[in-house]
Amino acid sequence: MALTTVIAYDVSEDGRRARLAALLQRYGDRIQFSVYLCRLDEDDLNQLVQAAERIINLNTDSLYVLRQCPTCWERMDCRGQSRPPERVLYWLAF
């Protein structure tokens, strides 16, 4: 089951920051400069975190992975210009 996950980072070096941003862009949507919103199942989340840990410097950089339960996500409140990305459903026919 896919969970909505908020991932944020603080990376001090430009090259690592760019590589991490590119990685996160493959998994979700950027909602702020260093904050991404992802819908991931547990396996994909584990792969993402492992790949991110190979990019960041664990002594100087930070990575926040905030899982949101469905009830918490449904109670989200957006103000001003903020809007959550639309959930896109795909149909597959065989």
Residue 48 · residue 27 · CB < 8 Å: yes
| In the chain, % of residues over pLDDT 70 | 84
Domains of the chain, by residue range, sit at 3-71
Please check whether the domain covering 3-71 is classified as CATH 3.30.70.240: yes
Residue 16 · residue 72 · CB < 8 Å: no
Structure confidence by residue, pLDDT tens digits, 42-68: 999 999 999 999 999 999 999 999 998
Between residues 67 and 93, which one has the greater pLDDT?
A: 67
Q: Where are the beta strands (DSSP E) in the chain?
A: 3-10, 28-32, 35-40, 62-68
Task: Kindly report the pTM of this predicted structure.
Answer: 0.79
* Angstrom distance (rounded) from CA 71 to CA 81: 23
* Angstrom distance (rounded) from CA 5 to CA 37: 6
